[in-house]
Homo-oligomer: A and B are copies of this chain.
Amino acid sequence: MIGVDWGTSSLRAFRIADNGAVIESRSSARGIMTITDRRFEPVLRAEIGDWLAAGETRILLCGMIGSRQGWREARYLPCPAGIVDLAGQLIPVGFDGASVMIVPGIATEDADGVPEVMRGEETQILGAASAERMVACLPGTHSKWASVAGGRIEGFTTYMTGEIFAALGEHTILARTLRRAPIDEAAFDEGLARARVAGGLLHHVFGVRTRVLRGGLSEAAAFSYLSGLLIGHEMVSVFGGGIGINDKIRVIGSGALTALYARAIGAYGGEPVTIGEAATAAGLALLGGRVTWQ
């Protein structure tokens, strides 16, 4: 089968053997936001046409491709939700020469009754899940923390940390006092530590400016300090809200941000295990094994 994580800004495709092994993978920048006139079918064909020519006839899509802005809207299933629940609610789309199905998203509410939604991450989380209880952390523009037990996602919480980091660094007065630079671990750790003291995020971020102007922080280090400050505030909320540092935490993702989250969790005393892109392919393979292909 072919599994595709088709998100807002990118598309990642996996050719998966019947035993779940990934035969080949590829990625491109053809996220759904780059696609005009609803040309989803020709774009998908251009991306994986050679796999179809080689005999594949089953395609499973997860991610924002199932949103209102995507190919066809798939509903959000309520939590708790596992592989069996998702596999029972796949949405077919028309495609000459292959069966194509879209994975639904999932939804929950926080303790205060405010809705939470995800699309795509549920497949990654279930791909990383085992029978044990665990907590999944997915860093990103909107990071997600999910509680998983018995192979089902019980609930999750979203933090706008990544997007707020970008907005603060580019569209506030902080833009004048920081410079995009490789992560300075010492400055990142200072930001993490600062997040734990009284004052609050709205006050702490102003200190990025005053520390550069009067406190000797360099503009390059300020970039890392702000990152640590925001990720640190996310940790304060996460570990103050029911997730324990001794929970089995799996950080799912690849790249520098995943490493920073693992570092932050470690600074709080946790021992996170990082799982890369394999989680997505594993989740798609698990779902594919449950599908009644049409």
A residues adjacent to B (C-beta < 8 A): 107, 110-112, 114-117, 142, 157-161, 163-164, 167-168, 170-173, 194, 197-203, 205-207, 210-211, 213-215, 230, 233-234, 236-237, 240-241
Contacts and interface: CB of A to CB of B under 8 A. Distances in A.
Nearest to A210: B115
B110 A211 contact: no
A201 B233 contact: yes
Contacts of A237: 198-200, 202-203
A107 B213 CA distance: 12
A233 B200 CA distance: 8
Q: A200, A202, A205, A234 — which one has the most chain B CB atoms within 10 A of its CB?
A: A202
Contacts of A164: 164, 168, 172, 202, 205
A293 to B, nearest CB: 31
B202 A201 contact: yes
Given A167-B167, A173-B163, A206 B158 contact: yes
Nearest to A209: B160
Given A159-B206, A164-B172, A199 B115 contact: no
B167 A198 contact: no
Nearest to A68: B213
Contacts of A202: 159-161, 164, 201, 230, 233-234, 237
Contacts of A158: 203, 206, 210
